[in-house]
Amino acid sequence: MKSLAAFIVTVLVMNTGAFAQYKLEYKASGSTPVHYKAHTSLETVESMMGQQAKVSVKSDQSISMTSSMDGSDIIYDITVDSSKNIALLPNGDTTRTSSPTVGQTKETRVHPDGNVISSRWLDSAFAKTQAGETKDFGNFFFRLPDKEVNTGSAWAQTKMDTVQTGGGEGSIVVTTNSNYKLVDKETVEGIPCVRITFSGQVGLKGATSYQGIDFAIKGSGTISGTALFDYMHGKVVRLTGNSDQNLTMASTGQQAVTIPMSQKTNYELRLVR
């Protein structure tokens, strides 16, 4: 019996994933740029007076970033190197555009646990044109646990973002409750990573103005996805996710109008080596 017990323990110990502890945190990579490809597809359906209007948008971006330590935080300079957008409009027309963010750099201050502290476009004139953004940049940063974890460990995060709308005439408060789980260890193109799954609930509430009419906005939705995180160098290697949201815009003036909307988003972020 002792030999059998010793054999079982030996097998478990050899399976490093069973007992491996990981301290997950973002780390500065220095002045050498790290490159990513990002793809987003968005479908919005709006209903009004019995009619539906659907807009589909696909976006592909090349992004580079450098990072350095500033006290206990990391400063990321994130630059959009190229961006192509294709939109399919309700009348069937297709438009192809290049995003005005190309060539622009956003400075983002992040705690090693993934908490985004602040974010700003370095070009102040350009920044004034970017209403409707949260302080996060894409999907590079998500909350990491504040202690060592192993396979099966789970943690949660609640965060609130305020999004300016209507040229600054309104705002929407976005509350996200996310749950994360470390599923296993995986090597991706020679990079040791941990696979992290996430899911959660999103709530939206706020107001905006459109063509002189004030609207109250309210909605909810879900998010889910998977991230592969390079725990040795502290960066995302791959991330895929999706969100599904339903909301209503209700006018607050004398002419009551309620506009239901649904929005589905799929996104992918991939490290380029």
Look at residue 12 in the predicted model and tell me its pLDDT.
46
Distance CA 22, CA 231 (A): 7
Nearest CA to 140 out of 73, 71, 199, 64 is that of 64
CB 244 within 8 A of CB 221: yes
**At which residue do the structure tokens 């054999």 appear?**
7
Residue 8: band (very low, low, confident or very high) from pLDDT cuts 50, 70, 90: very low
Look at residue 9 in the predicted model and tell me its pLDDT.
44
Is a pLDDT exceeding 90 seen at residue 52?
Answer: no
Q: What is the 3-state secondary structure (H, E, C) of the chain?
A: CHHHHHHHHHHHHHCHHHHCCECCCCCCCEEEEEEEEEEEEEEEEEEECCEEEEEEEEEEEEEEEEEEEECCEEEEEEEEEEEEEEEECCCCCEEEECCCCCCCEEEEEECCCCCEEEEEECCHHHHCCCCCCCCCCCCCCCCCCCCCECCCCEEEEEEEEEEEEHHHCEEEEEEEEEEEEEEEEEEECCEEEEEEEEEEEEEEEEEEEECCEEEEEEEEEEEEEEEEEECCCCEEEEEEEEEEEEEEEEECCCCCCEEEEEEEEEEEEEEEC
CB neighbourhood size of 160 (10 A): 10
Is a pLDDT exceeding 70 seen at residue 184?
Answer: yes
Look at residue 136 in the predicted model and tell me its pLDDT.
54
Instruction: Go through the domains of the chain in sequence order and give each one's CATH number.
Output: 21-272 (2.30.230)
Q: Give Cβ neighbours of residue 190 (< 8 Å, ≥ 6 apart).
A: none
**At which residue do the structure tokens 């705690």 appear?**
111
pLDDT tens digits for 87-142?
888 877 777 777 788 899 999 999 999 999 998 888 878 777 765 555 455 578 99
Span of 127-131, 201-205, 220-224, 238-242 with lowest mean pLDDT: 127-131
* pLDDT more than 90, % of the chain: 58
pLDDT tens digits for 135-178?
455 578 999 999 999 999 999 999 888 877 755 568 889 999 99
